Chains A and B, each alone.
Chain A
């Protein structure tokens, strides 16, 4: 059982927007602005999409955005494209004793 809770699946049609949630506690998501999101295509390594809640690394399209409210972080993908179909994993810093926690992952389907 993962420390952070994500919906197992999400879907949207091309051009639409979809939001994926990531719920933790005040000891992780709610306590630090260190939420990150990773995209993973089948058989591939994860790729950083969002860090520190809402920052995008160089090269990540601005269709990807992140936010946080209380103990829940969210990843929004706007203007869905076929290549966005992948698994998305959230992660949070959770303190010095257990620094990294992940969610169970969300499979995003582009209809």
Chain B
């Protein structure tokens, strides 16, 4: 059974940093394409960024609001995906989900999400 479990959310001040984790099981993280998707309170889903599988180069892509401030990495032996968020803004307030790609451009599995409020 595939599982994704996020952690690391919590209140952070504007300008601060936070690192989210997503522990996965049921598949091999190094072979997977993974994304982070966020949802502001009462709003729709917003793609944050992704990391490709090791075989596909392990490179990352980001949406414009995250580019230059967020970093995605992974620790394959620990089956853990990370989202490092720096220079946080109030508009980054959201529930952050990690998501596992299927065999094409869609998200087959999702974590339960972790809330990141950014407020002074």
Contacts and interface: CB of A to CB of B under 8 A. Distances in A.
Interface of A: 2, 6, 32, 34, 36, 38, 44-48, 51-52, 57, 89, 91, 93, 96, 98-105
Contact of A89 (B35, B45, B112, B113): B45
Residue with the greatest number of chain A CB neighbours at <10 A, chosen from B43, B64, B102: B102
A45 B43 contact: no
Contacts, number: 68
Given A45-B112, A98-B63, A100-B35, A105 B106 contact: no
Contacts of B112: 44-45
Interface in B95-120: 97, 102, 104-108, 110-113
Nearest to B110: A45
9 contacts: A2-B46, A34-B106, A45-B112, A47-B110, A93-B105, A100-B37, A100-B63, A103-B44, A105-B44
Given A47-B110, A102-B45, 11 more contacts: A45-B110, A46-B45, A48-B102, A51-B106, A91-B45, A99-B61, A99-B105, A100-B47, A100-B63, A105-B43, A105-B45
A32 B105 CA distance: 10
Contacts of A52: 104, 106
Nearest to B61: A99
A6 B43 CA distance: 12
Contacts of B105: 32, 34, 36, 93, 99-100
A38 B45 CA distance: 10
A51 B104 contact: yes
Nearest to B42: A105
Given A99-B50, A99-B61, A100-B35, A48 B108 contact: yes
A93 to B, nearest CB: 4
